[in-house]
């Protein structure tokens, strides 16, 4: 017998599947019983089947390497899924909807009345120094008043099992294609489990995304022209761009495929002639989107795109400038933002956060940096951060200097004792830390995926889950509680 839950160590941690030695959580009983009955050869066969499916389905991700350039790698996947009770998920879902609703109100306010600044809730100088606040977006009201139509918020649990929001991704959040493909792989490998469990589906995401984008169309027509705008095949998320376009039945285009005419309308070049585009799901960063409005040297974008958007001739998702709320210093204000716009208490707490532009917080961080995780305001993918407990003295001193030089650019958080889940290492289940990125769609309604992308740190003891830095992934099952 390969997996013995009695010897699986969970002491001092919150484990997603096992509550005590040999005792699965109620929602995971069926899964754990099934896994307990597998032999080594069964596990090897299932692992091989998953790897074969990933290869056949072409699921890959790209890593940028300073010396070797970009490298395509097979998607690292663990066949033991994460399980979450549906009753608990309902609370998480409510908290995420509340959060995104407040963040959209915040972005809309910043680009228009700026009442939150006038009322002294959000500091004006933080906005002035924001790298992602775009003056070109002032006095614009996008369709439905929504700026961030697609949001990916990262969730973690502490050692007690409490769920926190770690960060919000509102610029061009990625990863949803891997969530969908993880489910496809699991259905191939464990079809019998999907007959025994009531696992809530994620497969409807592409149709939900299509419906959300359709609602933004400036033309009241039955089938608006929707395109996915990609920087091209060398982008690390190109697999996802192509996948989503294919799943939605939308065209995958690059900047050179589009043009804006004198009528401020966006057209797509086709063999039948120009075709009007109504909605662009753009996966290009703001500053490369339109060389007329931003970086004049950009070859990725479409000249005049901002002009067309501001004229209301095309919808962009996410709207330009929505990244102002992606700033990790803004993240520290989200609880106040929820209270200000919704007059409600946050349904999901932030991880306790020190704002380094505040002197008292900065002094504490400088004195205790070895115990803290320090993050720059606008980096992603786990880059540019310091994990104090794992850092050298030289690295800590370097971050002290960075902090003193530009305190606005940093936050710090205590290092949480992140939850774990059983992960197949060789032919044994070992605990590995993980997080979860659900995706929230905002149109006329707000919808949250049933689960999300679970990322797992495959290296023992590591808390860095990013695939570019050695992380892997699991399927996430939201299931009805078992009797």
pLDDT score of 64: 58
Mean pLDDT to the nearest integer, 163-189:
92
Domain assignment of residue 292, yes or no: no
pLDDT in tens, 191-222: 988 988 889 999 999 999 999 999 999 999 99
Least Cα distance to 242 among 299, 153, 300, 174 occurs for 174
pLDDT band at 380 (very low <50, low <70, confident <90, very high): low
**Spatial separation of the C-alpha atoms in residues 305 and 312, rounded to whole Å:** 11
| Between 425 and 315, residue with greater pLDDT | 315
Residue 180: phi and psi, rounded to 5, are -70, -40
pLDDT in tens, 347-365: 999 999 999 999 999 999 9
* Shared-domain flag, residues 399 and 446: no
pLDDT band at 315 (very low <50, low <70, confident <90, very high): very high
**The CATH number of the domain where 369 resides is what?**
3.30.1490.270
**pLDDT at 88 > cutoff 60:** yes
pLDDT score of 471: 81
Domain assignment of residue 163, yes or no: no
pLDDT score of 483: 55
- The helix (run of H) or strand (run of E) holding residue 360 is helix 359-368
- By the 10 Å C-beta count (0-12 exposed, 13-18 middle, 19+ buried), 451 is classed as buried
pLDDT in tens, 24-81: 999 999 999 999 998 889 889 999 999 888 888 877 766 655 555 566 677 789 999 9
* Shared-domain flag, residues 407 and 455: no
**Spatial separation of the C-alpha atoms in residues 264 and 133, rounded to whole Å:** 24
Task: Answer yes or no: pTM beyond 0.85.
Answer: yes
pLDDT score of 5: 85
pLDDT score of 261: 96
DSSP string, 367-416: HHGGGEEEEETT--TTTT-EEGGGS-HHHHHHHHHHHHH-GGGEEEEE--
* DSSP character at residue 154: E
* Shared-domain flag, residues 30 and 69: yes
* Shared-domain flag, residues 406 and 464: no
Provide the residue range defining the domain that includes 34.
Answer: 5-87+178-199+437-480
Q: What is the mean pLDDT of the chain?
A: 91
* Shared-domain flag, residues 364 and 467: no
* Shared-domain flag, residues 73 and 21: yes
**8 A C-beta contact, residue 447 and residue 440:** yes
* Shared-domain flag, residues 397 and 443: no
Residue after which a domain boundary falls, among 383, 414, 445: 414
| Between 73 and 166, residue with greater pLDDT | 166
pLDDT in tens, 100-109: 999 999 999 9
| Between 196 and 344, residue with greater pLDDT | 344
**pLDDT at 346 > cutoff 80:** yes
pLDDT score of 460: 86
How many contiguous H segments (helices) and E segments (strands) does the chain have? 14, 25
Asked which of 59-73, 331-345, 347-361, 441-455 is least confident by mean pLDDT, the reply is: 59-73
Residues in the chain, overall count: 483
**Spatial separation of the C-alpha atoms in residues 189 and 183, rounded to whole Å:** 10
pLDDT band at 377 (very low <50, low <70, confident <90, very high): confident
* Shared-domain flag, residues 359 and 468: no
Which pair of tokens denotes residue 107?
């972005």
* Shared-domain flag, residues 48 and 12: yes
pLDDT score of 76: 86
* Shared-domain flag, residues 392 and 444: no
* DSSP character at residue 281: E
**Spatial separation of the C-alpha atoms in residues 268 and 253, rounded to whole Å:** 8
pLDDT band at 427 (very low <50, low <70, confident <90, very high): confident
Domain assignment of residue 345, yes or no: no
Number of domains into which the chain is organized: 2
**pLDDT at 305 > cutoff 60:** yes
pLDDT score of 9: 80
* Shared-domain flag, residues 359 and 474: no
**8 A C-beta contact, residue 276 and residue 258:** no
477 SS3 class: strand
Domain assignment of residue 265, yes or no: no
**pLDDT at 478 > cutoff 90:** yes
Scanning the structure block, which residue is given the tokens 């809530």?
200
CB atoms within 10 A of CB 118: 11
* Shared-domain flag, residues 9 and 61: yes
Domain assignment of residue 246, yes or no: no
């Amino acid at each position: 017998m390969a997996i013995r839950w009695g010897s699986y160590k969970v002491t001092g941690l919150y484990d997603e599947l096992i509550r005590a030695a040999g005792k699965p959580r109620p929602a995971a009983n069926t899964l754990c019983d099934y896994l307990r009955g597998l032999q080594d050869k069964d596990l090897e066969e299932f692992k091989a089947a998953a790897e074969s499916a990933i290869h056949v389905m072409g699921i890959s991700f790209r890593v940028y390497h300073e010396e070797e350039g970009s490298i395509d790698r097979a998607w690292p996947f663990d066949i033991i899924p994460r399980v979450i009770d549906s009753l608990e998920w309902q609370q998480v879902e409510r908290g995420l909807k509340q959060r995104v609703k407040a963040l959209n109100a915040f972005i809309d306010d910043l680009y228009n009345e700026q009442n939150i600044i006038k009322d002294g809730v959000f500091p004006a100088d933080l906005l002035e120094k924001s790298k992602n606040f775009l003056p070109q977006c002032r006095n614009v009201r996008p369709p439905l008043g929504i700026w961030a139509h697609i949001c990916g918020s990262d969730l973690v649990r502490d050692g007690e099992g409490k769920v926190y929001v770690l960060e919000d991704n509102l610029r061009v959040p990625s990863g949803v294609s891997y969530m969908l493909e993880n489910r496809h792989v699991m259905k191939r490998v464990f079809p019998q489990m999907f007959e025994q469990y009531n696992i809530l589906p994620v497969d409807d995401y592409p149709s939900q995304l299509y419906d959300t984008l359709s609602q933004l169309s400036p033309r009241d027509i039955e089938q608006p022209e929707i395109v996915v705008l990609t920087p091209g095949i060398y982008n690390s998320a190109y697999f996802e761009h192509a996948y989503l376009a294919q799943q939605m039945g939308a065209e995958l285009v690059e900047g050179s495929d589009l043009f804006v005419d004198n009528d401020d309308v966006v057209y797509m070049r086709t063999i039948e002639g120009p075709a009007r585009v109504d909605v662009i799901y753009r996966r290009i960063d703001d500053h490369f989107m339109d060389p007329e409005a931003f970086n004049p040297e950009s070859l990725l974008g479409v000249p005049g795109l901002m002009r067309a958007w501001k004229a209301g001739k095309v919808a962009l998702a996410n709207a330009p400038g929505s990244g102002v709320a992606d700033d990790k210093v803004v993240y520290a204000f989200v609880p106040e933002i929820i209270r200000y716009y919704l007059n409600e208490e946050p349904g999901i707490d932030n991880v306790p956060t020190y704002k380094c532009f505040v002197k008292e917080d900065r002094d504490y961080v400088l004195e205790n940096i070895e115990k803290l995780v320090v993050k720059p305001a606008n980096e992603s993918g786990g880059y540019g951060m310091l994990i104090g407990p794992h850092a050298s003295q030289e690295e800590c001193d370097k971050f002290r200097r960075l902090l003193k030089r530009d305190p606005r650019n940093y936050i710090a958080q205590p290092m949480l004792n992140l939850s774990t889940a059983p992960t197949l290492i060789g032919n044994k289940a070992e605990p590995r830390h993980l997080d979860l990125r659900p995706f929230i769609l905002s149109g006329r309604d707000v919808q949250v995926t049933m689960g999300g992308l679970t990322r797992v740190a495959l290296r023992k003891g590591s808390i860095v889950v990013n695939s570019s830095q050695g992380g892997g992934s699991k399927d996430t099952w939201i299931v009805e509680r078992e009797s």
